[in-house]
Amino acid sequence: MLPSPPSRNGSRTSTLMRWDYTTADGVVTIEFATGAKFILSRQSQMKQMWLAAGSHGFHYSWDAARNLWLDDKDGHELFPRLAETISEQLGHPVVF
């Protein structure tokens, strides 16, 4: 199932999946019908990506040898964590 086409402001909404996202200046904001909001932001000066997902915050640094974004605290990968947290909100698996 594909989301609807982008609106004029660059956001997409899927009524079937009940989520919306916007992008601007290195930030992706994902909002869910439940009221939950996730923010993925580029931190250029620190060469990191930050993910705020509900009450959790994660900082990811680029590992050039492995070609992955890895969490600074426990080493988990960005995309599987993002898929997991989005899946929890939507109630079905999401894979990147």
| Domain CATH number, residue 78 | 3.30.920.10
Please check whether residue 51 is in contact with residue 78, taking contact to mean a CB–CB distance below 8 angstroms: yes
Token pair, residue 56, equals 């959790």
- Coil vs helix vs strand at 44: helix
The domain of 73 spans 12-89
| Buried residues in 61-82 as b, exposed as e (16+ CB within 10 A) | beeeeeebbbbeeeeeebeebb
Domain membership flag for residue 38: yes
**CA dist 75 → 22, 26, 32, 37, 55 (Å):** 28, 23, 27, 24, 19
* Residue 43 pLDDT: 95
Domain membership flag for residue 19: yes
Domain membership flag for residue 62: yes
- Is residue 17 very low, low, confident or very high in pLDDT (cuts 50, 70, 90)? low
Domain membership flag for residue 4: no
Furthest CA-CA distance within the chain: 40
Domain membership flag for residue 66: yes
Counting the structural domains of the chain, the total is: 1
Domain membership flag for residue 78: yes
Q: Give the Cα separation of 20 and 14 in Å (integer).
A: 7
Domain membership flag for residue 5: no
Domain membership flag for residue 95: no
- 30-88 pLDDT, tens per residue? 999 989 999 999 999 999 999 999 899 999 999 999 999 999 999 999 999 999 999 99
